[in-house]
Amino acid sequence: MQPGTPLLAIVDNQYWVTANFKETQLLELRPGQAVEIKLDAFPSHEFTGHIDSLSPASGANFTLLPPDNATGNFTKVVQRIPVKVVFDSNSICGYEQTITPGMSAEVTVETGK
């Protein structure tokens, strides 16, 4: 062992997905809202969850080298904002060992509109 060497990592056993919504879709999204999650790996099973949090900035702002969009043409580009969606524990019962990072998902939020 040396100073600064990680000994272990403590992680929660919570399952979540990061849904990248368009900034124009965020008006009606709030933490706690119910969410429907469909994983491509399990097309016949519908998972449920809720919105945990909305990112404070677009994904582009948190990259190592953010894009410089100063081209001078002033074209608006709709940004994507990461939204953390947590699976309901009863929804993933029996799927815990088969849900893995990197899977493709489709997330639907019922906003009443």
Tell me the per-residue pLDDT of 20-46, one tens digit each, with 9 for 90 and over: 999 889 899 999 999 999 999 999 999
Q: Is 25 helix (H, G, I), strand (E, B) or coil?
A: helix
Query: What pTM, to 2 d.p., does this model score?
Result: 0.77
SS3 (DSSP) at 9: coil
Is a pLDDT exceeding 80 seen at residue 77?
A: no
Q: Percent of the chain having pLDDT more than 90?
A: 50
Exposure letters 20-43 (e unless 16+ CB within 10 A, then b): ebeeeeeeebeeeeebebbbeeee
As a dihedral over the C-alpha atoms of residue 56, residue 61, residue 62, residue 67, rounded to 10 degrees, the angle is: 160
At residue 65, the pLDDT reads 64
Q: How far apart are CA 80 and CA 21, in angstroms?
A: 5
Q: Domain 16-109 belongs to what topology?
A: Elongation Factor Tu (Ef-tu); domain 3 (2.40.30)
The whole-angstrom separation of Cα 65 and Cα 100 is 27
